Structure formats: structure tokens, C-alpha cells
Chain A
């Protein structure tokens, strides 16, 4: 069974204090790994898709990286507006129809 584990569950940072969020996964072959941001009372907002180990993608203060077992979302010099829950999801590549499995998310709070 596909599993996605995100850590930590919650993270509190001072503005400007860089850190990383972790997403570890167990799938029988990875077709894609997705990162989303979810603000309270809203639906998830797409950030990145990663397809293969070694791949990196950046957007403003966020950089996502991928290895064969986990992905990291690095946040450089975060601002209060980066406060949100960050969700990771995986799409396996084991033939036939497959669906994404989401992790439970990391709730990030950035304090001014």
C-alpha cells in the first residue's frame, strides 16, 4: 500500500529563519510527487511536480527536491505570508490506473 509521511506535523519559524519540510514515501515506482500549499478555509494550491530523483524546482522562497525515498521543501528566509499547511502527494507508476495519495501535511507558522 502506498504511504506518504510528512514531518514535522507543525513548525514554527521566526521570519527569516530558513528550514525544510520532509515528505517520505513508499510506492512501487514513482510517477510524480506533488507539493501543495493550503491556507485555512481554502483548497490546496499547486506548487510543484517532481518526476525523478535529483530533480529540483524553485519558486520564490521555496525549493523542492526529490530523492528515491523522500522529498524536501526548503523554505529560505520565510515571511509571515508563507504561513500555511504544506501537503505532499505521490502518484505511483505501477501500471494501470493509479491515484494520488496525500500526506497529512506540515502546518507552518512564520512569526514576524
Chain B
């Protein structure tokens, strides 16, 4: 069974530039999560989708971050414009339904904002 795919794996940008990350969850998983993991910290949930609807985005900085899940499958997370403090690993995870189901994480995208 293929795992959660993410791209790119690494990205370096200047502050105020834009960046987008892509995630393809495990086939058949209804729920998709985006997390931000700053160096030395645990993952922090940014947004949760169930199918193509947003369940929670309370911790998403909506003035600069946006996310969408196309047709309930792939998802993209965008930052526009980026700030220095956005430097982190962005993790995508999926599960069959809810948080009580096992979450499977992708390898993450490491973003460096200069």
C-alpha cells in the first residue's frame, strides 16, 4: 500500500515570497491533516479536511495561509506572503475517518524562509 506522498521535500524562499505544498493521501482515506512542525517542537495541527470539507482550521493563520482539497483527494497548502517564522516542516497526514483512527504521515516538506 502506497503511503502519504508530499512534494517538494525541501523549499528555500525569500520572505514575502509565495510557496505551495502538495499532498496525496493514502487511497480511500477520507480525512486529511496539515501540520506545522517547528524545529524542536511537536506537530501543530493547521487544518483538517474530511472529504473535501474543512472540519477545523482554527490554528491556520488565514491572513497568509490557505489550503484546499481537490475532489476530496489531493490537497495543497499555500503560504502568501511567507515570513521568517514560517520556517518549519509541513507534514501531511491522512486517516480513514477521524482522529481516533491511526494517522499516517508523509515525509514532510522542509521550508526555509530567508
Residue positions of A touching B, CB distance < 8 A = 4, 31-32, 34, 41-46, 49, 87, 89, 91, 97-100, 102-105
Partner of B107, one of A42, A89, A103, A104: A42
Complex Cα–Cα for A46 and B43 (A): 14
Residue positions of B touching A, CB distance < 8 A = 4, 40-45, 48, 55-56, 91, 93, 99-100, 102-108
Task: List residues of chain B with CB within 8 A of the CB of A104.
Answer: 40-42
* 4 interchain residue pairs of minimum CB distance: A102-B42, A43-B105, A46-B102, A44-B105
Contact, CB under 8 Å: B48 / A99: yes
Q: Could you give 22 example pairs across A and B, Cβ below 8 Å?
A: A4-B42, A32-B99, A34-B103, A42-B108, A43-B4, A43-B91, A43-B93, A43-B105, A43-B108, A44-B91, A46-B103, A87-B42, A87-B43, A91-B99, A97-B55, A100-B45, A100-B99, A102-B43, A102-B44, A103-B42, A104-B40, A104-B41
Contact, CB under 8 Å: A41 / B42: no
Task: List residues of chain B with CB within 8 A of the CB of A103.
Answer: 42
A-B contact count (CB 8 A): 48
Contact, CB under 8 Å: A99 / B45: yes
Complex Cα–Cα for A80 and B41 (A): 23
Task: List residues of chain A with CB within 8 A of the CB of B99.
Answer: 31-32, 91, 98-100
Task: List residues of chain B with CB within 8 A of the CB of A91.
Answer: 99-100
Extra inter-chain contacts (6) besides given A43-B4, A46-B104, CB under 8 Å? A34-B103, A43-B93, A43-B105, A46-B103, A89-B42, A99-B99
